[in-house]
Structure 1
Amino acid sequence: MKLLEKTQLGDVNLKNRMVMAAMTRGRADINGVVGDMAIEYYSQRASAGLLLTEAIRITEEATGSPNTPGIFTDQQIEAWRKVTTAVHNKGGIIIAQLWHTGRIGHSTDRNGKLPFAPSPLSIRGMQHFTSQGMKDYEIPLEMTIPQIKQTIKDFGQAARNAIAAGFDGVQLHAANGYLPNQFLAESANQRTDEYGGNIPNNARFVLEVMQELIGSVGSEKVGIKIAPSHTYGDIVLDDVAGTYTYLIEELNKLDFSYVELMRSASYIASPEGHGSNNEIEFFGSKIRQTVIANAGYDRTSAEAELEKGIAKLISFGRLYIANPDLPERFEKNAALNAPDRTTMYGGGERGYIDYPLLNE
C-alpha cells in the first residue's frame, strides 16, 4: 500500500503517508494547559506518519472556544513539551497547528472582550458554542493596522514557542472560517486599505504570516492548511478559484514544506470557464510544495488519491478519533471502531483515550 510507504516531509522522515488531522477536542483546562490525557491521546496515535495537533491558540486574544489549548505561557509550553516527548519516545512526529479564531469567538469566554476580525461583520446563520451554551455571534471589532502587524508577530512567537516545546514543525490554520480565512473572504473582509478590497490585498495577511513563520523557525518546519470551498463560519468568496489560484501562486514563491488541502463537495469554476468538483486535482496540481489531501477519506479512497500522484500524504480526522492504531488496521484491512459523536468535544477519558486497540 502506498499509504504505508515511508516518505519525507521537510526535514523529517515519516514512517508512512498517513497523517492524523488537527481536531479540536476541548480537553484543556481553563488556563489553556493540556494534561496527562493529552499525553496519552497523542502518544497512542504515534504510529501515524505525522500527527497534527488540535488547533492551538497563539495568544489569549486568539481565544474562540472554551477549554482549547494555548502555547503562549510557560505553563502551556511545558505541558506541550511532555506531549512531544511522549510522542517522540514512541517514534512519532508531531506538528503544532497554530490558531487565531478571529470573529469565531464570543465575549463570554474572552473575559468580556469582543473578538476582533478584518471587518465588523458578524457570522450569520449559526451560533457559537460557549461555556454558557450556544449563543448568537457578536459583531467583532475591526482590526487596526497595528493590531494586524502585532498578530503577525504573535504567530511568529507562537511558532518559536512550539519549537521550544519540542514540536517538529508548525502549521498555519488558514481554513474553516478562522482569522486567516476571514481575510480571504469578502463576507468577512470589506476593508479598503492594503489588507482588503481586492484579491492580492485579501491574501496579504496569510502571506505575511507565512513569511513570519518561515523567518521564525525555518522553511522546513512550516506548512499551511487551506480549504478553498469550505464555508464554515459564514465564509463566502466572490471568486473562489481566482482567490486561491492567486494565493497558491504567491505561496509557491515562498520556501516552505507542505500545503494541507481540505476538499469539500462544492463546485469550483476555473478562470477558463471550465469546472471541477475535485479540489485536489484543481488546486493541488498548482501547488509546488508537498500536498496533503484532507477530508472524508477512507482506506480505499485514500489509496486511490495517492495513486493519482498529486497528494503525497493523506490526513484523516474522525477515523483517528476512534482508531489510535489506524495504520495497523489499514494494513490488515481490519474492522474500524466507530467514533462516539457525543464525546468529540469536551469531557474526560471516555471517547478520548479509551478506544480499544486492535490487539485488545
Structure 2
Amino acid sequence: MTSIWDPIRIGRMALAHRFAMAPMTRSRAQADGAPGPLAAEYYAQRAGFGLIITEGVQPSDDGQGYLNTPGIYTEAHVAGWRRVTDAVHARGGHLFMQLMHAGRMAHPDNTPHHRQPVAPSAIAPGQTMFTAAGLQEIPEPRALSTDEVEATVRDFVHAARQAIAAGADGVEIHAANGYLIQQFFASNANRRTDRYGGPIENRMRFAIEVARAVSEAIGPERTGLRISPGSTLGGIDEGPEGPALYRRLVPALAELDLAYLHVAQGGNEALLGEIRRLWPNALLVARGGRPLERAAADVEAGLADVAPVARWALANPDFVERYRRGAPLNEADPATFYGGGAHGYTDYPTFGRALVAA
C-alpha cells in the first residue's frame, strides 16, 4: 500500500511526501495585480508542503473576476512573483502557479479595464459577486468571437511563459469550478455554433488547445491541469453528458504527457475510478469537507498519487508536521479568507509557537 509519506516524482520535482497545498483565492494583491507585500511570507511559510499550487492568477485583464486577485502578464507581475518563488525555493519548496481565467464569473468593477465579462456565450451565471461597492449581480457576459477564443489561448501561453520567468516550477491550468474553461464544457453556458460549441468534441476543444499550447511553450513536465467533473459552481450544469465529456477529455489530455491532473472531486466515485484508469501520470484528488482521519485515504487506496490540502493549509503553515505528529490544528477564520492584511494570512501560529503562547 502506498503511504502518504512515500516520496514521488512529478515532472522535474522530487517530492518527499504526498501532501500538496491546494489553490485558494485570498484577494490580497496590489492595485497593479502584483502579489501583495505579504505573499512571499505566506507561501514560504507553507513550503513544507513540497508542492504549492498558488491562488488563481489571471492571464489577462479579461481573465480577472474577483476583487484584488493577482495577475501574471506584466513585468510588474513577474517581479512580484519572483519574490514569492525565491522565498519558497529558499525553504526547499516547489511552486506551480494556477492560471485562472474567470470568464463570466466576473464583475467590471473588479477589473483594471472595467469591461463587460467575456464567456463562451452571452449567458449570465445568475450569481452575485463582491466588489468594492459591495455585493452586486454579475452582469451578462459578452460572447467571445472565434478569433478571440484563439487569442485567449495565446494569453494562457504568454502567462505560462511569464510564470516560468518569475521562477515558478510550472503552471496549473484551471479548467474547473465554473470558470472559463469549464464554461466551454457546459451546454447551459456554451451555446456556440462554431468549432468550440455543440458536440462534446467541440466543447472540450478550448481546454485541449490551451493545454497543448502551454505544454509546448514551457514543457509538459511543467504543466498541470485541474478539472471538477459535475461541479455546479458559478451556475454551471454539465448535464447528463458531463461524465462522457470527461471520459473523452482525460485521454486527450493524457496524450500531451502533462505532469499531473488535479481533480476537485464532487461525488461521482465511479467516474473518479475511470479517470484514475485513464490518466497515466500523477493524479491529485482534492476533497472538500473530508475529515482529518481521511486525509490520506485516496493515496492509500490508490485512487490518487497526491492529496491537496486547502483550509487546513490556510490555517496551519506547518500542517505536514502537525499531521505527522498527530498534533492539533488551528481553526481557520472565514472572516479573514479574502482581503485584509497579515491577520488570518501570515499570523497563524506553528505548533511550537502555539504551545509557547498557551
- Is residue 218 of structure 2 the alignment partner of residue 225 of structure 1? no
CA contact (8 A) 1:263 1:279 kept: no
Cα deviation, 1:53-103, whole Å, max 9, x if unaligned, reads 000010112111111000111111001001000100000011100011110
Query: CA distance change for structure 1 residues 135 and 85 in 2, over 3 Å: closer, same or farther?
Result: same
Cα deviation, 1:312-338, whole Å, max 9, x if unaligned, reads 100011010100001100100110111
Cα deviation, 1:289-318, whole Å, max 9, x if unaligned, reads 210010224442132211111311000110
User: Which secondary structure state, in structure 2, belongs to the residue aligned with residue 26 of structure 1?
Assistant: coil
Shift of 1:132: 1.4
User: Partner residue of 1:61?
Assistant: 62
1:341 to 326, 330, 334: 334
User: Partner residue of 1:70?
Assistant: 71
Shift of 1:34: 1.1
Counterparts of residues 108-123 of structure 1 (less than 5 Å): 108-110=109-111, 111-123=113-125
Query: CA distance change for structure 1 residues 278 and 334 in 2, over 3 Å: closer, same or farther?
Result: farther
Distance in 2 between residues matched to 1:283 and 1:122, nearest whole Å:
31
1:315 to 308, 319, 334: 308
Cα deviation, 1:165-207, whole Å, max 9, x if unaligned, reads 0000010000011100100011110011100001000000000
User: Partner residue of 1:293?
Assistant: 285
CA contact (8 A) 2:122 2:141 kept: yes
Distance in 2 between residues matched to 1:48 and 1:217, nearest whole Å:
24
Distance in 1 between residues matched to 2:346 and 2:235, nearest whole Å:
33
Amino acid at match of 2:351: L
CA contact (8 A) 2:57 2:70 kept: yes
Counterparts of residues 237-276 of structure 1 (less than 5 Å): 237-238=238-239, 239-265=241-267, 268=268
User: Which secondary structure state, in structure 2, belongs to the residue aligned with residue 96 of structure 1?
Assistant: strand
Q: Which runs of 5+ in 1 are unaligned?
A: 269-276
User: Which secondary structure state, in structure 2, belongs to the residue aligned with residue 60 of structure 1?
Assistant: coil
CA contact (8 A) 1:263 1:278 kept: no
Distance in 2 between residues matched to 1:43 and 1:90, nearest whole Å:
7
Distance in 2 between residues matched to 1:41 and 1:141, nearest whole Å:
36
Shift of 1:4: 2.3
2:272 to 277, 280, 291: 280
Distance in 2 between residues matched to 1:57 and 1:205, nearest whole Å:
17
2:295 to 276, 292, 302: 302
Farther off after superposition, 16-25 or 127-136: 127-136
Cα deviation, 1:235-269, whole Å, max 9, x if unaligned, reads 1013111111111121122121100011123xx4x
User: Partner residue of 1:274?
Assistant: none
Farther off after superposition, 104-113 or 215-224: 104-113
User: Which secondary structure state, in structure 2, belongs to the residue aligned with residue 36 of structure 1?
Assistant: coil
Distance in 2 between residues matched to 1:229 and 1:237, nearest whole Å:
6
CA contact (8 A) 1:285 1:310 kept: no
Q: Which runs of 5+ in 2 are unaligned?
A: 354-358
User: Which secondary structure state, in structure 1, belongs to the residue aligned with residue 234 of structure 2?
Assistant: coil
- Is residue 14 of structure 2 the alignment partner of residue 3 of structure 1? no
User: Partner residue of 2:35?
Assistant: 34
Amino acid at match of 1:353: T
Distance in 2 between residues matched to 1:284 and 1:62, nearest whole Å:
30
Alignment root-mean-square deviation, CA = 1.3
CA contact (8 A) 2:78 2:166 kept: yes
User: Which secondary structure state, in structure 1, belongs to the residue aligned with residue 98 of structure 2?
Assistant: strand
Cα deviation, 1:13-53, whole Å, max 9, x if unaligned, reads 11211100000000101111113310110000000020000
User: Partner residue of 2:356?
Assistant: none
User: Which secondary structure state, in structure 1, belongs to the residue aligned with residue 99 of structure 2?
Assistant: strand
Distance in 2 between residues matched to 1:204 and 1:198, nearest whole Å:
10
User: Partner residue of 1:271?
Assistant: none
User: Partner residue of 1:272?
Assistant: none
User: Which secondary structure state, in structure 2, belongs to the residue aligned with residue 62 of structure 1?
Assistant: coil
Identity across the alignment (%): 38
- Is residue 305 of structure 2 the alignment partner of residue 326 of structure 1? no
- Is residue 346 of structure 2 the alignment partner of residue 353 of structure 1? yes
Distance in 1 between residues matched to 2:83 and 2:259, nearest whole Å:
25
Shift of 1:230: 1.1
User: Partner residue of 2:80?
Assistant: 79
Amino acid at match of 1:249: P
TM-score by length of 1: 0.94
Shift of 1:233: 0.5
Between Structure 1 and Structure 2, how many residues are aligned? 349
